[in-house]
Amino acid sequence: MATMAQAIRMALHYGEENLGVTDIFGEDVGPPLGGVFTATQGLKNAWNSPLDERGIIGAAIGLGMAGNRCVAEVQFADYIFNTIDLLKLAGNQCWASAGDWNLPMTVMTPVGSGIRGAIYHSHSFDAMMTHIPGWKIVMPSNPLDAYGLMISCLKDPNPTMYLKPKALLRVRGGERIPGEPELTPEGEKQLKEMIDAPLGDRSKWKPRWPEGLTDYVVPLGQAKIVNPGEQLTVVSYGRTLPLCRQAAEKLAPEGLSVEVIDLRTLWPYDWKTISTSIRKTGRVLFVNEDTEVTNFGEHLIRRTIDEHFYDLQARPRLLAGAFTPGVGLADPLEMASVPQLGHILSAIRDVIEEQA
């Protein structure tokens, strides 16, 4: 039962060994720390960069231009905002050169709330990132998908943005990643001993990577129905996805049937799966934790109205983060700023109970 951080680490290791990944870099990405969330511990091509986000993104673009395959990390999405024009540049290189250049590069950054990160460690980035064409953007909600989405990113010839929901990075999954030890407490302990760096002096430590890791992929642009249902479609990703699933399970005994879709790839997204589900249920709720104004979910609502207005039995709804300058540190502030289980339960009831 790998954590999401371990899953990402194993995928990156697979990438180093099999997919030509030459550089995994960023602030504190290399030894001794191996990333503030440990996602890059023990990787042979991981290295520390200057504390310079623009340099990190610029270097990633240049490495891609040189035909090298890199994964660059910005330590928290809160610090990626000063690279927006470089992200825009990366996204337009293929288009601007009419296909002459492409950029195989991946950027990963932890996003969202859930660790009481206050104003500068809680930002979401999905709304901003989905405004930048030319990128493929993913956000996993469990370790298996985290592994498979990373492998897909590493194989893609375009810029890929891998958003890591920081609240889920240490959460264990329920599905085994091909190659990882058995899903037992013993297997969990074994994996930890193999690939988690010890506390204290790490100078002599080397990981023992599981044999049998594969190029298991979650194809980009492919959503997943994680809870089938008939009365309402809920579309989410990242931190709020497990909450939506939990809500659906909680409401099932009441006779409420909720279909939960894990979008997994935010761009280009799997409209076919969303569309099919909306046509079936006639009701839809989009859930994410980025701020609610010009939220990515608003685009999905616009498309829902454009294409499914006459299929709908209730207003399409968005449950998102409050439009505030930041997420406040105190527990009541964070809980009130971004969707929690209670908010999702209420929103689901509201949409289902709305008169057709």
Partner 1 sequence: MVRALAITPEGGKEIRLAEPEPKSTPEQEPEPKSPRLREVPPPRRGAEFRLDPKLLVRIHDLMVKSRVVEERLIKMYKQNDGYFWLGGPGEEAFQIPLGLQIDKGEGLDHDFLHLHYRSSGILLTLGADPMDMVRQMKNTATDPFSRGRNFSGHASKRSWNVVPITSTIETQYATAIGTGIAQRRHGGRSITIVTGGEAGTAEGDFASCLVWASRPAQELPMLIIVTNNEWGISTPASTQHGEAHVADRGKPFRMRTKFANGNDVEESWFAIQEAMEYVRTERKPFLLEVHVSRMYGHSSASGANLVPGEEDPLAIFEARLESAGVMNRADMTRRRDQYAAELLDMHRKVRSEPMPDPSTIYDHTYAGQKGRYW
Shortest reach from residue 295's CB to partner 1, in Å: 18
Distance CA 234, CA 277 (A): 9
Distance of closest approach, residue 104 Cβ to partner 1, in angstroms: 8
CA–centroid distance for 291 within its chain: 16
Pick from 132, 207, 191: nearest CA to 163: 132
Residues near partner 1 (CB under 8 A) are: 22-23, 49-50, 52, 54-55, 57-68, 70, 85-86, 89, 93-102, 133-134, 136, 157-158, 267-269, 271
Q: How far from 207 is each of 2, 75, 210, CA to CA, in Å?
A: 15, 22, 9
CA gap 10, 212 in Å, rounded: 11
Least Cβ distance, residue 300 to partner 1 (angstroms): 12
Please state the closest distance from residue 197 (CB atom) to partner 1, in A: 23
What are the DSSP calls for 66-82, one per residue?
TT-EEEEE-SSGGG-GG
C-beta of 97 vs 214, nearer to partner 1: 97
Q: Which residues contact 185 (CB under 8 A, 6 or more apart)?
A: none
**Least Å from the CB of residue 302 to partner 1:** 13
DSSP letter assigned to residue 290:
E
CB of 129 to partner 1, least distance (A): 15
Residue with Cβ nearer partner 1 (5 or 266):
266
The helix/strand/coil state of 159 is strand
Instruction: Determine how β-strand 224-227 pairs with β-strand 159-165.
Output: unpaired
| Contact by Cβ (8 Å): 165, 141 | yes
Cβ of residue 175: shortest distance to partner 1, in angstroms? 29
Contacts of 25 (CB under 8 A, 6+ apart): 46, 47, 48, 49, 56, 59, 70, 71, 72, 73
Q: How far apart are CA 8 and CA 147, in angstroms?
A: 5
Q: How far apart are CA 140 and CA 29, in angstroms?
A: 20
Give min distance, CB of 160 to partner 1, in A. Answer: 11
Cα–Cα distance measured from residue 308 to residue 350, given in angstroms and rounded to the nearest whole number: 20
